[in-house]
Structure 1
Amino acid sequence: MLYVYTIYQEGSFSKAAEKLYLTQPALSIAVHKIEKSIGMPLFDRKSRPLRLTDAGKIYLDTIQKMRQLELEQEQKLRDIQSLVSGSIHLGGTHYLNAYILPELLVGYNRLYPGVTLHISEDRAEALPEMLGRRELDMTFSCKPEHVEQYLHYPMFEDHVLVAVPRDHPIHQQYGNAALTARQVLEKRHLDPGCPKAPLTWFSDLEFILLSQGNNLHERAWQMFEEAGVCPHIKLMLNQLVTAFHLAEAEMGATFVSDRIIHSYNDRMLYYPLQSPVAARLFYILLPQNAYIPVAVRKLVAYIRERIN
């Protein structure tokens, strides 16, 4: 079973053989025996990378279910011992892994040193799929379609602001509604009396936007469409933090989360937005209809208690 699973992961017999410390002929013979026993091929050997046949998909699904049952058995036995130990595999975007999780994970690790934490980083769209395949024990999302599919717990809220270089002439017209980094850190933008900017104010600006697969990409376009604005796109990239630093360097305006503003930086001014889409509620996501180990449950409780 391990052989078939590894070939599927690696996409070729040669790479799988190398990972399994086998010769390729030995691996081919082993898989051929399995295929002979079930009477059907597991892989379409004409495709590159290798693809599973329909029989292969059924076989792999069974392997994954067996692997998960073995893992749950191990977790349940460990939990009976009342020891908070084991491992947790989390998945987050760069934004979450760099700005939201570090202090939380350090604190949890000090409290439960017997738990090993593994962290993966990927796009917002990919992470729930990884959770669904049980490649992760926990991930995070603010997208309702993802939240509804999994066991979920509210985690934190953030707010999307338009960040514009301080020297841009737009501030001469709308600067009364702009906030400094200090004011954002003081949470002035959350004050009910704080002015909120319509996105039409920024229709002539050049924007640095995140690429597809990022939640802020979807929200930015939703806000542009709501406002009837066709944006001037200077650059598209994958990382929120990179977009923020390029905006600091005066390449253009960008959308940022209020939670990445960690210092009294005077190079940018920030505009709270009128759109309801600018407020995001993030959830912790766990697998649906699966055993949740004590270590994971304690991490959920720790995060929710200390996040704000």
Structure 2
Amino acid sequence: MEVRQLKYLLSIGREGTFTAAAEKLFISQSALSQQVKSMEEELGVPLFDRSRNRLHFTEAGALLHQRAKHIVREVEEAKKAIHELEQLYRGTLRIGVVQTINAYLIPKIVAHFSSRYPEVQLRVHELSAPEIERQLSEHELDLGLSFKPTDYPKLTFDPLFEEELMLIVNPQHPFARREEVEAKALESEQLMLLSEGYCTRRIWDEAAKMADISPKVLIEMNTISSLLSALEDHPKAGTILPALTMKMKAAHGLSAIRIVHPSPTRTAGILWRAQGYRSKASRKLAEIATNMVQELKQ
């Protein structure tokens, strides 16, 4: 059985019919059918239930399909590793980044990396933490700059730094001159927050639950810059965002107040597939990110 045949099997599984799969593979339907027949003869079992309009795997076919995913991935990663021995640091690096890191740290990291390794094409995708975890686990990303994963145990996490979530307000807000505020004091405040599903929102919701409060959510938005801009029109409202947010241009003139009892915090770091191949380019970018964070701490 050849890797090429396993790729054909994966394509049929995705497309659902021999005709659609053949079109995607740029081969004739008869050639594809012959390859499947060859695999079935070699294994001695049918791989598809052909009694329905849309193809369905038999039990044996489903088992081979699942194994084929891993085999093809391993072969592709082996080819990639060998290619790097001949072409040092060439290729494409796909990175998933959460909003605050993308807005503040990534421009510096990317500029430094690209000046040293101009042959590598960087593709940076700003995504939510759960989406980074999903895409990384499904091999759609090479690494992620995000938070400790919660739903994907097969991902590993190298911590970079820990930061607090802050109450950020307009200078006209009653809390603007305070250095800190207790979480309970926010129960009667109007808050503008990131939408549910974002890691920052999840951390704040957990802190509010610990403080036994249910603050009023005035507005939900999907971007940090939008929340910061909205503070101009809502001087009596506040938002809760990571401390790094105050490094953004959109935060100029705003005030950040520590939240205590409890103090919501998050740990940012680098996400990898636990047993996945780590290219030299990805390891170098992780090294640059680590060194840059250490410099900022000094």
Superposition TM-score tier, normalisation by shorter sequence? 0.7 to 0.9
CA distance in structure 1 between the aligned counterparts of 2:213 and 2:152, rounded to whole angstroms: 29
Paired amino acid for 2:191? F
Q: How big is each residue's C-alpha offset from its partner over 1:232-279, in whole Å with a ceiling of 9 and x where there is no partner?
A: 11122322332222233317321122212234723x322111155522
Q: Is the 8 A contact 1:162 1:271 kept in 2?
A: yes
Tell me which residue corresponds to 1:110.
Answer: 115
Tell me which residue corresponds to 2:192.
Answer: 208
Tell me which residue corresponds to 2:281.
Answer: 295
Q: How big is each residue's C-alpha offset from its partner over 1:86-109, in whole Å with a ceiling of 9 and x where there is no partner?
A: 222111223333332122012101
Q: How big is each residue's C-alpha offset from its partner over 1:217-245, in whole Å with a ceiling of 9 and x where there is no partner?
A: 11111111111111111122322332222
TM value normalised by structure 2: 0.77
Q: How big is each residue's C-alpha offset from its partner over 1:119-141, in whole Å with a ceiling of 9 and x where there is no partner?
A: 23322112112222222210133
The CA deviation at 1:46 is: 8.0
Paired amino acid for 2:204? A
Counterpart among 146, 161, 178 of residue 166 in structure 2: 161
Q: Is the aligned partner of 1:135 residue 2:124?
A: no
CA distance in structure 2 between the aligned counterparts of 1:45 and 1:254, rounded to whole angstroms: 55
Counterpart among 242, 245, 251 of residue 257 in structure 1: 242
The CA deviation at 1:161 is: 0.8
Q: Is the 8 A contact 2:176 2:256 kept in 1?
A: no
- After superposition, the Cα gap between the structure-2 partners of 1:201 and 1:44, relative to the gap in structure 1 and judged at 3 Å, is farther
Tell me which residue corresponds to 2:181.
Answer: 197
Q: Is the aligned partner of 1:306 residue 2:292?
A: yes
Q: Is the 8 A contact 1:42 1:55 kept in 2?
A: no
Q: Is the 8 A contact 1:198 1:227 kept in 2?
A: no
Counterpart among 283, 294, 305 of residue 269 in structure 2: 283
The CA deviation at 1:295 is: 1.6
Q: How big is each residue's C-alpha offset from its partner over 1:33-62, in whole Å with a ceiling of 9 and x where there is no partner?
A: 738935243899889xx9988666544433
Superposed, 1:179-258 pairs within 5 Å as 195-250=179-234, 252-258=237-243
- Which 10-residue stretch deviates more, 148-157 or 84-93? 148-157
Q: Is the aligned partner of 1:75 residue 2:80?
A: yes
CA distance in structure 2 between the aligned counterparts of 1:43 and 1:248, rounded to whole angstroms: 63
Q: Is the aligned partner of 1:41 residue 2:48?
A: yes
Tell me which residue corresponds to 1:186.
Answer: none
Tell me how large the CA RMSD over aligned residues is.
Answer: 3.7
TM value normalised by structure 1: 0.75
5+ residue gaps in structure 2? 1-5
Paired amino acid for 1:62? R
Q: How big is each residue's C-alpha offset from its partner over 1:13-43, in whole Å with a ceiling of 9 and x where there is no partner?
A: 69966983869xx669947973893524389
CA distance in structure 1 between the aligned counterparts of 2:271 and 2:116, rounded to whole angstroms: 22
Q: What SS does the aligned partner of 1:248 have?
A: coil
Counterpart among 252, 257, 279 of residue 271 in structure 1: 257
Q: What SS does the aligned partner of 1:119 have?
A: strand
Tell me which residue corresponds to 2:106.
Answer: 101
Q: What SS does the aligned partner of 1:84 have?
A: coil
CA distance in structure 2 between the aligned counterparts of 1:265 and 1:82, rounded to whole angstroms: 44
5+ residue gaps in structure 1? 178-194
Q: What SS does the aligned partner of 2:260 have?
A: coil
Q: Is the aligned partner of 1:124 residue 2:126?
A: no
CA distance in structure 2 between the aligned counterparts of 1:44 and 1:275, rounded to whole angstroms: 63
